[in-house]
Amino acid sequence: MSSNPPDRTWLVAVAAALWGTDGLLRLPLAEALPAATVVFWEHLLVVLVLSPLIPGAIRALRRTGPREWLAVLAIGGGSSALATAMFTAAFKLGDPVTPLVLQKLQPVFAVLAAYFVLSERVRPGYAFFAIPALLGAWLLAFKDPLNIQVAAMKAALLAIGAAALWAAGTVLGRLLSTELAPKEVTTLRFTVGLPVSAGIVAYQGGQFAVGWDNALGLALLALVPGLLALSLYYVGLRSTPAARATLAELAFPVTAAVIGVLCLNADLSGTQWLGLAVVVVSVTSLGWHEKVRRQPMVLEPLNGRAHRRDEERTPDPQRQ
C-alpha cells in the first residue's frame, strides 16, 4: 500500500501568484502588439528554452494512450495558446477589470469538469471554503460590488471562453500528471501551443515580427508568469486534486490586485480589500485543512502511475 503524496495546494497558489505578475507585463504589450502576436512569442521563447527536453517528453507521451494524447492537444492548443490569446484580446477590447472578474468563473467550470472527467468528489464542507473564496474574488473585482457593469459583451465572452479553457487545462493537467512528469507536461504544453499560436496569428493576418523595444517585456512575460509559474504549477498539481487546485489559483487575482496598487497606482475600495482578505483566508484555510485533517474535502479516485514515480524521473530506454 502506497502512502498518499504530500499536499501541495500551497505550491499551486505560489504559481498562481506568479501569474498575478502577468498584468504588469501584458498590459503594455497588449497596447503595442496584437494579442495573437504576444502569445506566439511567449510560446516561441519558452520552446527555445525547453528544446533539449522535447525529445524526452515526446518519448514519454508515446508510452501513454490516446486519452493522454488528446489531453496534451487540448491543453497546448486550447488552454495555452487559444485561451491566452482570448484573455489578451479581452484586455485590449474592454476594460482591465472585466477579464479578471469573469476569470472567477474558472473554479465553477473546473469543479464540474473534475467531477465528469476525473470522478473527483467533494464533501459538503467544500462549500465552506469555495463559496467565501468566490464571493471574496467577486468583491475584489469591483469597487462597488452592488453596481456591476460589464464593459463590452465581446470582451466578456472572450474572458468567459478563456476561463472555461483554463479550467479544462487544470483538469486535463491533473489527468496527465498521473502519467507524465511535471517537466514533460510543461514541455508538451508549450510545444503543442507554438504551432497553434502561429496558426492564430496567420488566420488573423497578424504580424510575427516585433521590435526590440518589446523584447524585454516578451522575455519576462514568457519566463516568469509563463515558464517558471507553469513549472511550479504542474509540480503542485501532481499531488493536488483539481477541485482544490482551482481555488488555490485564486491567488492570481489577489496578486494582480496587490501589484496594481503597488506598481500601477490602482486604488482599491474598502470592499475590495475585504475581498482580498477573504480569498487569502479561504484558500489558506483549505490548504491547511487538507494537510492536517484525516478527511479531506476533495476525494480523488485517481490510481495513475505518477505516485509510484519520482517527480523528476529520467526516461528509461529499457522501459516498455
Q: Is the CB of residue 201 less than 8 Å from the CB of residue 37?
A: yes
Cell matching residue 248: 488555490
Q: Measured between alpha carbons, how far is 316 from 310 in angstroms, rounded to an integer? A: 13
pLDDT confidence bin for 320, thresholds 50/70/90:
very low
Q: Give pLDDT tens digits for 177-227.
A: 889 999 999 999 999 999 999 999 998 888 899 989 999 999 999 999 889
Q: Which residue has the higher pLDDT, 37 or 149?
A: 37
> What does the domain layout of the chain look like in residue ranges?
9-292
What stretch of H or E contains 299? strand 298-299
Residue recorded with cell 506566439: 40
Q: Is the dihedral of CA 181, 228, 286, 289 positive or negative?
A: positive
| Set of cell numbers at residue 63 | 508510452
- CA 215 to chain CA centroid, nearest Å: 24
Q: Are 167 and 161 in contact (CB under 8 A)?
A: no
Of 164, 158, 20, the C-alpha closest to 98 is: 158
Beta-carbon count within 10 A of 299 CB: 14
Query: If DSSP codes are grouped into helix, strand and coil, which group holds residue 154?
Result: helix
Backbone angles phi, psi at 74, to 5 degrees: -65, -40
Give residue-wise pLDDT tens across range 36-80.
899 899 999 999 999 999 999 999 999 999 999 999 999 999 988
Summarize pLDDT for 81-116 with one digit per residue, the tens.
Answer: 888 888 877 777 765 666 766 666 677 677 778 877
Instruction: Spell out the residues 6+ positions from residue 44 whose beta carbon is closer than 8 angstroms to its own.
Output: 194
pTM of the model: 0.72
